[in-house]
Structure 1
Amino acid sequence: MLSLRTLSRAPRVLPAAGPGNARNMATLREIEMRLKSVKNIEKITQQVSLSMKIVASTKLAKAQRAMAAGKEYGVANSEVFAHATSPSTSGNKLFLVISSDKGLCGGIHSSVTKATRRTFAGTSESLLLDADSKPVEIDQASPVMVIGDKSKAQLVRVLSGNLRLSFNQIGKDVPTFADAAGVADLIIKSDVKYDSVVLVYNKFVSAISYEPTTVEVRGEASLKESEGFKAYEMEDDFTKDLAEFSLANAIFAALTESHACEISARRNAMDNASKNAKDMIGSLQMKYNRGRQAAITNELVDIITGASAL
């Protein structure tokens, strides 16, 4: 009777372990297939990233030289407006967001997009602050123009009613003053009314870091009303020409600096792609080993349980 009872329990023990083992094997098979897939992707990524890193490193030196030249234009603008005008915290503002049409460069595009959204929201992280370091109140209907398709695609979701113009095919290579002058000319000839133009772009901090920043350029009407310019007798077209030239200068400086940030970020993104693949391989390998150990342990438990039952 004792042996019959023991044998009657045995069939219930052994099949119960079968589905669990099947699930473990299926899970291990999936992990193994994913591990092979990631390893293949890592090989491709390593080859592509190495090529793109070499290209980006070559372009970065050229972009930094252009940025140094472009900053000279921006310094000249700053000197003129620092002595002739006072900081503007009111009036109609036109926002010009500067990015590019290319991807594979980390958070370059989302950086300026998020900064623009925070500025419109008037949060403590706004890029426009008054003398008391408080966010400047922005008219929610303020016009926005975008250089680059990437930021345009992001801003159209939240500020679609504010978008007036967009520019593409700029910054495929190192930006030139002709590119900046063309953008400035189209802005001035547009029907958009503004007292100042706020450029939102990425500031080059180092080869591995950047941060969004703004530069405000006064318009023609605002220049005419400023005390610094009223002190001198000037021809009627002087402020118009100065406003257009200073806007082109500021755009050129912002374009070159933003381009240098993009090339630097692309080089870093290629490094991160290979590192992420290696980290994922390590994580999957550990998960596979643990699953395999668990499956072997379960099989041993089943064998020992069945043997003891018999």
Structure 2
Amino acid sequence: MSMLARQSILRAAAQGQHLGAAPTNARNMATLREIELRLKSVRNIEKITKSMKMIASTKLAKAQRAMQAGKEYGLANKEVFQHANDKPGARKLFLVVSSDKGLCGGIHSSVSKATRRAIANAPDSPLAAAEATPTIDADSPVMVIGDKSKGQLQRAIGGNMTLTFNQIGRDIPTFADAAGVADLIVKSGVKYDSVVLVYNSFVSALSYEAAVMEVLGEEALKESNGFKAYENEDDDTKDLAEFSLANAIYATLVEGHACEQSARRNAMDNASKNATDMISRLQMQYNRGRQAAITNELVDIITGASAL
């Protein structure tokens, strides 16, 4: 066999051994140094989550006070539209009320799922059990407040989305924010007979649920019996419809903000508890490894002394 052929065979055998062999730095269990670094990382995460929980708790108290004041706007709207009749088969515009911030559990997924069910003409309640993805009505326009729900709905009903809003209600939402959204909706040119707001309803400091609020448009106000009894100019009815939409948006914004702060506080509380449990497990693992290392060193010392 020639020298060149022998070298080729040896090189191939060496490559095979290298591919089949385990890496030299492979370990069956973490070293004490790795456990120590992980403990430090988890402790830092625990400090962050506890701080975020305290901040969310403070903001929740303010958000609840704003929510109680904002609910008055929603109650006034219900009285306005109490005697207005919605036309069957009317074109509905869906407005999803969310936010731009995360780290608050599944609060954004809640309104996204409710929107898909509502657009699909599922049972009257948007919370009805519907596990399968419904067939989306291509004629229903959708507008979204907040980047989080926008990203979720973009994948499912991207063709229905006509307008999105962000940077609204970064702190406590104001009526000026709601009025700006209502003005852009009216000026967008989208045709609708009523606006269906999908938002999170505040149940308690520990729970929330998706809900809907429907605001009828200008034509529904004109056809209602209460308005027919008076002679109103067209501009008055149009202004009242836009003002009622702004009222409803403001009521849902402040309630959704309170739900967001509540969900974030609960999420950070759970994260802090999980970090505490993980720290306990890692600390026990570190102590056992350290004791084992000390025991092995003592055995080596005693064995060497006995040999002498």
| TM-score interval (norm. to shorter) | 0.7 to 0.9
Deviation at 1:189? 0.7
* Number of residues of Structure 1 aligned to a counterpart in Structure 2: 261
Q: Could you report, residue by residue, the CA deviation over 1:106-162 in whole angstroms, capped at 9, with x for unpaired residues?
A: 111111111111222344585299xxxxxxx98432000000111111111011101
Task: Give CA deviations for 1:263-306 in whole Å, capped at 9, x if unaligned.
Answer: 111111111112223445667789999xxxxxxxxxxxxxxxxx
- What does 1:1-310 align with in structure 2 at a 5 Å threshold? 28-30=28-30, 36=36, 38-82=38-82, 84-86=83-85, 90-124=89-123, 126-127=125-126, 139-280=137-278
Classify 1:50/1:85 alpha carbon distance in 2 versus 1 (closer, same or farther; 3 Å): same
- Amino acid across the alignment from 2:174: T
Q: Deviations over 1:224-270 (max 9, x none)?
A: 12233223221221210110000000000000000011111111111
Q: Structure 1: how far apart are the matches of 2:194 and 2:228?
A: 18
Distance 1:36 1:231, change over 3 A: farther
Q: Secondary structure at the match of 1:114?
A: helix
Unaligned runs of 5+ in 2: 1-21, 129-134, 288-308
Query: Separation in 2 of the partners of 1:28 and 1:220?
Result: 71
Calculate percent identity across the aligned residue pairs: 67
Contact 2:43 2:279 in 1 (8 A): no
User: 8 Å contact 2:181–2:246 — kept in the other structure?
Assistant: yes
1:74 shift after superposition: 0.5
In structure 1, runs of 5+ residues without a counterpart are 1-21, 130-136, 290-310
Write the distance in 2 (CA, Å) between the matches of 1:28 and 1:88.
70
Structure 1 length-normalised TM = 0.75
Inter-partner Cα distance in structure 1 for 2:281 and 2:94: 44
Q: Structure 1 44/116 Cα, relative in aligned 2: closer, same or farther at 3 Å?
A: same
Over 3 Å counting, the alpha-carbon distance change for 1:190 and 1:123 in structure 2 is: same
Cα distance, 1:188 vs. partner? 0.4
Report the 3-state secondary structure (helix = DSSP H, G, I; strand = E; otherwise coil) of the residue aligned with 2:169.
Answer: coil
**Paired residues of 1:56 and 1:267 also in contact (CA < 8 A):** yes
- Residues 1:280 and 1:118: Cα distance change in structure 2 (over 3 Å): farther
The CA distance in 2 between the partners of 1:119 and 1:194, in whole Å, is: 16
Under a length normalisation based on structure 2, what TM-score does the superposition of the two structures give? 0.76
- The answer as to whether partners of 1:223 and 1:243 remain within 8 angstroms in 2 is yes
Taking only aligned residues, the RMSD between alpha carbons, in angstroms, comes to 3.0
- The 1:226–1:126 alpha-carbon spacing in structure 2 relative to 1, beyond 3 Å, is same
Is the 2:96–2:198 contact (alpha carbons within 8 Å) kept by the matching residues of 1?
Answer: yes
Q: Secondary structure at the match of 1:192?
A: coil
Question: Is the Cα–Cα contact under 8 Å of residues 197 and 213 in structure 2 kept in the other structure?
Answer: yes
Whether the 8 Å CA contact 1:28–1:288 is kept in 2: the answer is: no
Query: Which segment drifts farther, 99-108 or 210-219?
Result: 99-108
Which amino acid is 1:114 matched to? K
